[in-house]
Amino acid sequence: MNGAAPSERPWLSVVMPVYNGARHLAAALASLGSPGVEHIEVIAVDDGSTDDSPRLLAEWSHRLPMRILRGDHTGNWVRVTQRGLELARGEWISLLHQDDAWSPRRLTALWVAAERHAAVGWMVHAARFVDDAGRPLGRWRCPFPAGRPLEAAVTLPRLAMQNPIPLPGVCARRAAIEAVGPMDDSLWYLADWDLWIRLAAAAPLLYLDEPLADFRVHAASQTAVRTRDAGDIEAQFLRVQERLRALGPAAGVSVAWLDRVAPFARATYLVLIALAHRTRPPWGVWLRAAARAGPANCVRYLVWSRLIERARARRHWRARTGAAGKGV
């Protein structure tokens, strides 16, 4: 461990898992140096990088209040992230992947929102899709009413269909994260969705409909490379949906409704993965699940998953590069 940590307890801890991220790492770290940086700490957890990432982290540790942890390569970003979460000292915590970035307004906007809405346990904001060079591809909005605290009865149904929240768009109280327990490192693809569901069930959410972070679409991400195993993805989907089924009733979310929409959401995602990897989609399963869900719930999926704007961003990216991009 090296780098200087703030002497006072920071307002915000930024947990950044790193592995061979030299291509975009400097841009991600530079985006943290906005007004308010004196109130944060950065915890960079390097998962045994073999590229220039260690040197970049060491260089930036002299510019940012940063701690650097290094270890042997695990290949599991969730396990690496959890290690950083356990060391976070801030009242609030955000996650930032090495290929994403913050906008200059993010710290100030979140600070003001937290002061104004003291009862919320976590905040979410919109993001921009950007390409490898940082050029905009579109906007990622979340399916929540903006500007007021939202209870689980509002947020959990919108989390039932798919993960509609960009990871760099979340800021949660450390106490709320500790209360819901650690990230599940067996869910290498869906651990963030699982965490959002647990936070939604436990604490009010505030949504800011302003794009305060960039989510980068590119071909080298773990989620793009490892989604060919549809059986693994489906198994993770089932586990997250069981989590929602267990937590939903306390918030007034009907189990019968979840049992209708969950197979459709799962089948739709498997169709999208198959199309992305140019394999045969499970159309028969999808049609049966759609019939069971019903037209109204199919429309809800379309709206709450933000599928159109996410697909539009990927289409724009493909038009520029001609390749498959980050799982969005």
Q: Which residue ranges make up each domain of the chain?
A: 12-218, 223-321
User: What pLDDT score was predicted for residue 218?
Assistant: 82
pLDDT computed for residue 320 by the predictor: 86
* SS3 readout for the chain: CECCCCCCCCCEEEEEEECCCHHHHHHHHHCCCCCCHHHEEEEEEECCCCCCHHHHHHHHCCCCCEEEEECCCCCCHHHHHHHHHHHCCCCEEEECCCCCEECCCHHHHHHHHHHHCCCCCEEEECEEEECCCCCEEEEECCCCCCCCCECHHHHHHHCCCCCCCCHHHEEEEHHHHHHHCCCCCCCCCCHHHHHHHHHHHHCCEEEECCCCEEEECCCCCHHHHCCCCHHHHHHHHHHHHHHHHHHHHHHCCCHHHHHHHHHHHHHHHHHHHHHHCCCCCCHHHHHHHHHHHCHHHHHHHHHHCCHHHHHHHHHHHHHHHCCCCCCC
| Residue 2, pLDDT score | 43
Best CATH choice for the domain 12-218 from the list 3.90.550.10, 3.40.50.150, 3.40.30.10, 3.40.1350.10: 3.90.550.10
pLDDT, position 20: 97
The list of the chain residues with pLDDT below 50 reads: 1-7, 324-328
